[in-house]
Structure 1
């Protein structure tokens, strides 16, 4: 199957009576040629066989045009197209456009076409998935019919070291501390598909894993060939809910001296309870004011992703999720999750730039009762 990024995925119409349920949105990102479109095509084939209705939004910035258009094709059971429709998202690339307008356009598509089981949003290879993810974090009062299910990043095992090395060299030449698009896409992901593993040696594969885990030590890593993965292994896991225990993202991570993005985890015993107001002040300083700095370089700590579970003094156990400047604290209500986590430590996992363990730990410990 071709890895061509210009192929347009399609809609598969299947009867559904779940119109009252919210539709999960999975963002599929990855560097150019990694196999995103092949992944989407594979998922559509599986969805058809499983009787699932899937919408695909292709986000590809078209030559500087002010109009972003995503093509939806309706495919019947015989595999033939029965009609086409364009969903227009104004103001260029979706990650640069008005967030409410983009979500509203997707909601109208859902209302017009009927309920979907999944929505896949395939981004351009140069897109930063952070702002795209943030626009799906909506207040419950807005009664959106969609929600963010997770972020999947497809990685080319053969060319990952080259992509990262090129960015390091570019940063050195231009004296830039900014992380590359490739690093951002890895850092924010919930699931990392290490694709084209058949094209590299075992030593090269181990090197890729070391690079990936040094950037994001909390994501699930799946090895794939030609972007083949079971649809139910990838979709519908509600990565941004509080129903998943931390075991799912607690993994050891290593630091790589040549990469600007890393993972840091901090833990406190269950007996250490946090003051909610002080904790939110910490988040405000970290994510909004950016007034916490690395003690070695003096650069502001820059957070791409934040997640964890916190024991607060006057509340039940709470789940924490953040992408860029957006964060959410939610009381854990799932009984199975509560049973698993009551005796577990509070944990906060940071993924970002200039993570200073001593600074972050000392600030958080000031929030303890």
Structure 2
């Protein structure tokens, strides 16, 4: 009897957790301003969108396209259709997730907020024009496939993770939080910096794979506040860059993993050996400061890669040859 009661209870809980409702009106909202065939999305009642919709009236009971999400763990998933509107600002529930798995969404006015919740793009296309995008208040913005196109994209607090697809923004502004790229293609067009910052304070960029492109910036990152790690097969393609940092003697740093297999494609006429050696301690390999460029890197007309194996000079820098052993192990696996 106990097993029967337990099985019935579990079955009831599973069934309730998989309840779903689909948007049937052309107006998107999460209150009575929109029509869903199975009731409003909420805890235990995930929402689905597969038709064209408009979110100009989002949060019409509030102001400026803002909507305070109800409590509980639930999600809204778009699998098709085209969404169009001005400001988008769902907020107030860290357990909420919006999945853009298909179709398109275009915000052509106001601000596009990912405000304290999770926004995933897994095959759809998100476009922001006529304003900026903000990832704030611990939010998580993840692009795995599909595309994102923006003008000024601001990571104010939380995380942006690019695992695939294409991410294009005139400016990528790190104001706080962590930017991670493990795959895909990221493109910015800022004329001074590949990655910018508009406020002080620490921020992190983990560049582990994929390609980051900017063909106009003169430096990769700001002179202060940014901690960058580069690993995997990550590639920076920034042929106008004549500096890694926007100045010398700052607090920003770049650390390369000793088994990094990617490249930096930079200005071909710059003497990168001198650039790096003359600003000691800011570029490291596995935490070891680069004071002798040739011990760690090779420069082929602006294409910077790690040396295939540690040189004699490198082994003299690191007593006991720990880095050599690590790179040997990686090469044998």
- Provide the TM-score with structure 2 as the length reference: 0.27
Instruction: Name which one, 1 or 2, has greater alpha-carbon Rg.
Output: 2
Identify which of structures 1 and 2 has the higher relative contact order when contacts are C-alpha pairs closer than 8 Å and 6+ apart: 1
* Structure with greater proportional helix content: 1
- Provide the TM-score with structure 1 as the length reference: 0.25
